[in-house]
Amino acid sequence: MEDVHPSPASPWLVQPFLDGETVCTYSTAHQGRVSLHLMYRIPRQRKHSTGIQFEAIDATESLKLIEPIVAELGYTGQISFDFLITDDGLTFVECNPRATDGLLLMPREELTAGCSPRGPRRSCRARTTSRRLASPTTRRTRRSLLQRERVTSAGAHA
């Protein structure tokens, strides 16, 4: 920390600490219009970081917050937001202009339509149905971690 010196030329942005459940969104957009949107929670994480299980939840409120941002930017592409659910409702944490694990929860047909330039031009309907998933990558990672823990435990008892 002693090497860090915030200044007007190199400022810091400090966010207040908020407590709440983390939820994330995944959306696609074409020329400022959201064409696909879902929100998901992460019921299982590794060390409060990498999600290893995802559950789609009602995305109605998050869509209302994201549509004006996408419209104002005239955004085209994939975009994801992280929120905290607080006493005041959904509170923005960050934006990732890329794909996130949420795309794994989207049925193939909807994902294909949402990503196509000829995709839905009507207003996007937020997904409200629940779908749970542990991604193949996270299943392999979890299996690998469990195997390492067994080897480490076995070695400790030998």
Which pLDDT does position 103 carry in this prediction? 84
What confidence category does residue 55 fall into, taking pLDDT thresholds of 50, 70 and 90? confident
54, 106 Cβ separation under 8 angstroms: no
The sign of the CA dihedral 125, 81, 65, 35 is: negative
Q: Which amino acid is at 57?
A: I
How far is it, in rounded angstroms, from Cα 22 to Cα 93? 9
Q: Which amino acid is at 90?
A: L
Residue 92's domain comprises 21-157
Which pLDDT does position 61 carry in this prediction? 94
Name the domain count of the chain: 1
Q: Is there a domain that residue 3 lies in? A: no
Q: Is there a domain that residue 131 lies in? A: yes
Q: Is there a domain that residue 67 lies in? A: yes
pTM over 0.75: no
Which pLDDT does position 6 carry in this prediction? 87
Q: What is the CATH number of the domain that holds 118?
A: 3.30.470.20
Give pLDDT tens digits for 72-123.
999 999 999 999 999 999 999 999 999 888 888 888 888 878 887 665 544 4
Q: How many CA atoms lie within 13 A of 63 on its CB side?
A: 19
What confidence category does residue 31 fall into, taking pLDDT thresholds of 50, 70 and 90? very high
Q: Is there a domain that residue 37 lies in? A: yes
